[in-house]
């Protein structure tokens, strides 16, 4: 199954990709559905695949959303939450499509900035309730949040991205309040508990607040030993619940922290490499470039 990257999304929608998108700590953007549809020049059918980003959409119009285990028909207004873990197919049923949508990466809502772990939120859990049909009143509430996003993104306010994170969280909590009460309580199966404990243990390593601080857990085996499970079992559980391997999750979180340290501290590259568990600067540089396509120095500049 193909995964649509941010760059591919911008190419497909003929939207202008923000300059230096790959050099930001996280990415966020907001769009008007009718404007994107006009740029596409055709009915905006989305293929059945995964996206490499999160998406929240406020949609007015008749539509059909197709998932592996269900098909959801939208008659008027809806709020949709999409996660990179769950593929879906979106099919408009008429030409009268309006509303907004925003896209963002996991880095944009990294816990040290937002206070939440995205994949722990009920709204983004597999098997959950990703689409909510809205009353006219609720639809206007959501539209107002998106209008604030649109206005703020165009502003010159120095802390606008902090404000935009709050708007995204407001949408997430609005959606979670619409969920059936049972969906708000996570599963307590053995696998779910291992996955949850891993995420908690991973996040506990951060933030790195001093160049003399060093990650105590660095590899999949380190985490498996701390959780008292076999490394293969840990990998299987995480692959099933997140779609990623243990090493992928650890690497992704280290890259998030590396980006923050490169942008928001004056530590030298050697100090950052050491604090993130790399004994050699060259190893850190190779790792960072493989993950981001930039060297640490180029990303910082």
CATH code (residue 260): 1.10.10.60
Across the strands, what pairs with 71? 66
In angstroms, the CA 39 to CA 13 distance is: 6
3 state SS of 79: strand
Q: Do 56 and 96 have their domain in common? A: yes
pTM exceeds cut of 0.85: no
The pLDDT value recorded for residue 18 is 58
Q: Do 194 and 177 have their domain in common? A: no
In angstroms, the CA 85 to CA 77 distance is: 24
In angstroms, the CA 172 to CA 59 distance is: 15
Give me the domain span that covers residue 78. Answer: 3-184
In angstroms, the CA 26 to CA 20 distance is: 11
Q: Do 133 and 229 have their domain in common? A: no
pLDDT at 45 over 70: no
Q: Do 117 and 242 have their domain in common? A: no
**Mean model confidence pLDDT for the chain:** 83
In angstroms, the CA 103 to CA 162 distance is: 15
- Look at residues 151, 168, 184 and tell me which one is the last residue of a structural domain: 184
Secondary structure tally for the chain: helices H, strands E: 12, 10
Q: Do 61 and 120 have their domain in common? A: yes
Element holding 91 (H helix, E strand): strand 88-92
pLDDT at 44 over 60: no
Instruction: Provide the domain count of the chain.
Output: 2
Q: Do 52 and 172 have their domain in common? A: yes
Structure tokens at 196: 């949850």
In angstroms, the CA 26 to CA 134 distance is: 30
pLDDT at 241 over 90: no
Q: Do 175 and 224 have their domain in common? A: no
Kindly report, residue by residue over 243-287, the tens digit of the pLDDT: 889 999 999 999 989 998 998 899 999 999 999 999 999 999 999
Q: What is the dihedral of CA 206, 212, 215, 218, to 10 degrees?
A: 140
Q: Do 172 and 241 have their domain in common? A: no
Helix ranges, the chain (H): 6-12, 33-40, 111-114, 136-153, 160-178, 190-203, 220-227, 231-242, 246-264, 269-275, 281-292, 296-300
Q: Do 36 and 104 have their domain in common? A: yes
Residues above pLDDT 90, as percent of the chain: 41
Q: Do 151 and 61 have their domain in common? A: yes
Mean per-residue pLDDT, 111-126: 78
pLDDT at 147 over 80: yes
Neighbours of 84 (CB within 10 A): 21
pLDDT at 67 over 80: no
- Look at residues 184, 201, 230 and tell me which one is the last residue of a structural domain: 184
Q: Are 235 and 220 in contact (CB under 8 A)?
A: yes
- Look at residues 126, 150, 184 and tell me which one is the last residue of a structural domain: 184
Q: Do 64 and 120 have their domain in common? A: yes
Q: Give the DSSP letter of residue 190.
A: H
Q: Do 271 and 296 have their domain in common? A: yes
Q: Which residues of 40-55 are buried (b: 16+ CB within 10 A; e: fewer)?
A: eeeebebeeebbebbb
């Amino acid at each position: 199954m193909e995964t649509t990257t941010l760059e591919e999304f911008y190419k497909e929608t003929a939207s202008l990709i923000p300059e230096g998108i790959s050099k930001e700590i996280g990415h966020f953007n907001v769009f008007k559905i009718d404007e994107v549809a006009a740029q596409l020049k055709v009915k905006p059918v989305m293929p059945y695949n995964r996206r490499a980003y999160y998406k929240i959409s406020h949609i007015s119009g008749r539509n059909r959303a197709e998932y592996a285990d269900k098909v959801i028909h939208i008659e008027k207004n809806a709020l949709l939450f999409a996660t990179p873990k769950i593929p879906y197919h979106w099919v408009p049923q008429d030409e009268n499509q309006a509303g907004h949508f925003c896209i963002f990466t996991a880095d944009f809502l990294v816990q040290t900035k937002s206070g939440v772990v995205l994949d722990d939120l009920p709204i983004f859990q597999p098997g959950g309730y990703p689409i909510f049909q809205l009353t006219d009143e609720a639809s206007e509430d959501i539209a107002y949040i998106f209008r604030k996003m649109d206005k703020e993104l165009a502003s010159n306010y120095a802390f606008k991205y902090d404000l935009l994170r709050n708007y995204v969280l407001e949408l997430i909590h609005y959606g979670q309040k619409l969920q059936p009460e049972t969906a708000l309580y996570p599963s307590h199966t053995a696998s779910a508990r291992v996955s949850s404990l891993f995420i908690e243990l991973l996040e506990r390593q951060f933030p790195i607040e001093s160049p003399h601080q060093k990650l105590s857990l660095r590899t999949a085996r380190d985490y498996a030993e701390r959780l008292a499970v076999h490394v293969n079992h840990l990998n299987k559980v995480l692959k099933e619940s997140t779609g990623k391997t243990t090493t992928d999750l650890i690497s992704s979180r280290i890259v998030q922290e590396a980006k923050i340290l490169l942008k928001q501290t004056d530590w030298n590259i050697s100090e950052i490499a050491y604090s993130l568990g790399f004994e050699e600067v060259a190893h850190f540089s190779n790792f960072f470039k493989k993950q981001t396509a930039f060297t640490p120095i180029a990303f910082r500049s």
